[in-house]
Structure 1
Amino acid sequence: MRKALAQPHTKQFLKFAVVGLISFGIDWGMLIALVELFHLDFLMSTTVSFITSVVVNYWLSMKYVFDHREGMSRKREFTIFTILSVIGLGLNDLYMFVGVTFLSIGYQAMKAIATFLVTWYNYFSRRFFLEGARS
């Protein structure tokens, strides 16, 4: 019985992971391009690449991962997604700043670490606020 209850969440998380990998590819690619090709600051580049990937992530997440919540307008849904993403951006930038500046971790390695950490926040916060934490 317990296994049957876990399957929908496992399937949803796997879809979330695929969408996340696509978004991460965009985020990572832009970060590297902005730093290496355009010689922008790593923190500015992190912010720009993260925001771009969030737009793609929203579209893919709402199309393939999360169900539209009855009684919630798309405008409200996007607003919630955006607010949660801004918090995720803050966490991402904080991890990047601390990791690169204080811990002397390379920005590419720190981006992978930051993404891993922010992924958990993103999944559970979006599931709770966008779907209403349905079981």
Structure 2
Amino acid sequence: MVEWTIVKKLIAQIAKFGVVGVIAFLLDFGILNILVRYAHMNNVTAGTISFLVSLAVNYLLSMKMVFKHRDDMARWMEITIFFISAAVGLLINDVVIWTGTASLPADAIDSMHGTYVLYTNIAKIVATVIVSIWNFIIRKWLLDAPTPGKPVNTRSFAHRLGHWSLSHNPFDRV
């Protein structure tokens, strides 16, 4: 049976993740719309730029407010995992945004600019939901510190990866 304190901690963590996500989404969505609506930039290019800007903010806030640093993992590995998972998230983001407007005729996009922006925004919302779920699962699995006071599962992939990262620093190579 699951302990109530573990469930409460997970709910609080999901809530914090949601607050950070809303902040990053507003930044992402705002930049996307400025670039597509006013600069008439291609939606996938604009989506990539807005995603990367919001990613930096998301990283700083997530690691400060949502996830606790694992003592059994080097910072370089933590950052590597974060950015590899973000690259997968960016791929998902771009594919969903592209798919959202792929049915519009290429030669009519200028004349259908309002429709193009609307379809881009709908696709961005869908992409955000999918990427948010991906991000929470992968970060919870690999980056979040074990529950204090509980024995560390030394057989877990996250622990083994973290332990390896402490003894293999790529920046110490000469």
Bigger share in helix: 1
> What is the match of residue 110 of structure 2?
none
Larger mean CA deviation between 108-117 and 124-133 belongs to 124-133
Contact residue 27 and residue 52 of structure 1 kept, 8 A = yes
Count of aligned pairs between the two proteins: 135
Contact residue 34 and residue 45 of structure 1 kept, 8 A = yes
Residue identity in the other structure for 2:18: A
Larger mean CA deviation between 16-25 and 99-108 belongs to 99-108
> What is the match of residue 129 of structure 1?
142
In the alignment, the residues of structure 1 paired with residue 132 and residue 41 of structure 2 have an alpha-carbon distance, to the nearest angstrom, of 25
The reply to whether residue 117 of structure 1 matches residue 93 of structure 2 is no
In the alignment, the residues of structure 2 paired with residue 84 and residue 131 of structure 1 have an alpha-carbon distance, to the nearest angstrom, of 14
Please tell me whether Structure 1 or Structure 2 has the larger radius of gyration of its CA atoms: 2
Q: CA RMSD in A?
A: 2.0
Q: Identify unmatched segments of 5+ residues in structure 2.
A: 105-115, 151-174
Alignment of 1:54-69 (within 5 A): 54-69=55-70
Once the two structures are superposed, residues 24-48 of structure 1 have per-residue CA deviations (whole angstroms, 9 ceiling, x without a partner) of: 0110000001111211100100000
In the alignment, the residues of structure 1 paired with residue 142 and residue 101 of structure 2 have an alpha-carbon distance, to the nearest angstrom, of 32
Q: Give the share of equivalent positions with the same residue, in percent.
A: 36
Residue identity in the other structure for 1:20: G
Alignment of 1:1-135 (within 5 A): 2-102=3-103, 106-131=119-144
CA-CA distance at 1:3 after TM superposition = 3.2
In the alignment, the residues of structure 1 paired with residue 121 and residue 87 of structure 2 have an alpha-carbon distance, to the nearest angstrom, of 21
CA-CA distance at 1:132 after TM superposition = 6.2
Q: Identify unmatched segments of 5+ residues in structure 1.
A: none
